[in-house]
Amino acid sequence: MEEFYLVNGKILDVRTGKFIKADLKITGKQIASVQEKAPTEAKKVDCSGKYLIPGIMDAHVHLVWEGTAKDPMYETVRDGNYLNFAKGVSSAEKSLKNGVTTVRDLGCNDDCSIPLARAVNIGLIKGSHIVPAGSAIQGSYGHCPMIGYIANTKEQLIDKIKRLKGYNIEMSIPPLHWIKIMASGGAAGLEDVGPCMYSPDELKAITYEAHRLNMKVAAHALSRDAISKCIDAGIDTIEHGGALDEELLHKMKENGQVWVPTLQVYKELARGKGMIADVIVEKASAVEENQKKAFSAAMKIGTKIVAGSDAGSPNFGPHPSIFKELVAMQENGMSAAQVIRCATLAAAEELGVKDRGVLEEGKIADIVVLDANPLVDLHAFTEHLSAVYKEGLLV
């Protein structure tokens, strides 16, 4: 088992938002110590003048979408399962090389994020850790059906949840397992945002069955009707939350539910006139305007927020996109330390991967090394990346 030290660097304690000066001892895949001084004869990597951060997490990605297409929905249908899987491989590899060590994939064709996660776990692919949700469950009039699974009745919903659980087990994906539902229409599509796609009874059946099987539920929800019903049904994470208001944010806080805002994607869609359909620009503009108010309110109320980017979305740029999202969160009033916590410790706790997200003894050695202080400028992640370690190995 290889053992080495990262010495003379400044280590970010994401719990306090402050850097400490210490040597980081890595043994195999784990952090063995944060305080032990490296012996003279030990193998060392000098990190003088560098800043050590826990591996960054993106709680909302679509690996089978590359982020460079004007219409990834059409390309998903055109390219088929094999090419889409190859795109997922490429996206996972790019993400890791750029310091994103864990992603939660919230929608793909034919549940392919699950075998993709296995391919990473057994070392066939050198990509980010993947927390897969398979294809997004939705009704027949839903959002992005090419990365979804159509379930229109309670029986179909329960059957799909059980099949996803079984597929995760078959692929040896460690729990906690996730599913994703499309609870409303979307901005990046021609459909109406509209009412909630499922009835309160159906939503409660979804959460009951998922939680019974030790799974969590993420819900794409833009309209107030969909958001409100998802909150009442006990959905774990609200994705986008385009019509969130103070009343709903208070409910989420009381219930311990989490908001994944994906601010930047709507900002960019809203500025896509001439490149994407006018109806998408119009819907995204409305979401962007409300999200600014909701984000400020969420910080005051204390609603839990986790960073997610919706990487892979139309005209959003290649993976990863999370660093643009972190800047957007800061522009909307969150401190750099809080932003980084949302993309590390807070993400790890919510996604169920509590073996990472903080540089502490016993945690997985997923580490980003920077040449500049991200608490001063979050662009350090993209402009001053020095090294990335995943499970103690230099990427």
25: which DSSP letter? E
361: which DSSP letter? T
Residue 88 CA to residue 66 CA, distance in Å, equals: 8
The most confident of 68-72, 139-143, 379-383, by mean pLDDT? 379-383
Residue 163 CA to residue 133 CA, distance in Å, equals: 12
Query: Could you give the domains of the chain?
Result: 3-53+359-394 (2.30.40.10), 56-351 (3.20.20.140)
pLDDT, residue 21, reads 93
80: three-class secondary structure by DSSP: helix
pLDDT, residue 95, reads 98
pLDDT, residue 135, reads 98
pLDDT, residue 1, reads 83
Q: 190 pLDDT exceeds 90?
A: no
- Helix, strand, coil percentages in the chain from 3-state DSSP, rounded to 5: 40, 25, 40
Q: 378 pLDDT exceeds 90?
A: yes
The 10 Å Cβ neighbour count of residue 290 is: 18
- What average pLDDT does range 316-322 have in this prediction? 95
pLDDT, residue 36, reads 75
Cα–Cα distance list, 365 to 3, 92, 246, 254 (Å): 12, 18, 38, 34
* Mean pLDDT (the chain, rounded): 96
Assign 277 a pLDDT band (cuts: 50, 70, 90).
confident
Residue 373 CA to residue 369 CA, distance in Å, equals: 10
Assign 18 a pLDDT band (cuts: 50, 70, 90).
very high
263: three-class secondary structure by DSSP: helix
Q: Looking at beta carbons, which pairs linking 315-318 to residues 24 or more positions away fall under 8 Å?
A: 315/67, 315/68, 315/69, 315/70, 315/268, 315/269, 315/272, 315/275, 315/276, 316/67, 316/265, 316/268, 317/67, 317/68, 318/66, 318/67, 318/68, 318/91, 318/94
Q: pLDDT tens, 39-86? A: 989 999 999 999 999 999 999 999 999 998 878 888 999 999 999 999
Q: pLDDT tens, 327-343? A: 999 999 999 999 999 99
Q: pLDDT tens, 262-272? A: 999 999 988 88
- Residues 118, 172 contacting (CB under 8 angstroms): yes
Question: Checking DSSP bridges between strand 237-240 and strand 304-305, what pairing results, if any?
Answer: unpaired
- What average pLDDT does range 21-29 have in this prediction? 96
pLDDT, residue 61, reads 98
Residue 225 CA to residue 183 CA, distance in Å, equals: 9
pLDDT, residue 70, reads 77
Assign 280 a pLDDT band (cuts: 50, 70, 90).
confident
Q: 355 pLDDT exceeds 90?
A: yes
Residue type, 132: P
Residue type, 291: Q
182: three-class secondary structure by DSSP: strand
Radius of gyration of the CA atoms of the chain, in A: 20
Closest CA to 54 of 382, 377, 355: 355
pLDDT, residue 321, reads 98
pTM over 0.85: yes
Q: 317 pLDDT exceeds 80?
A: yes
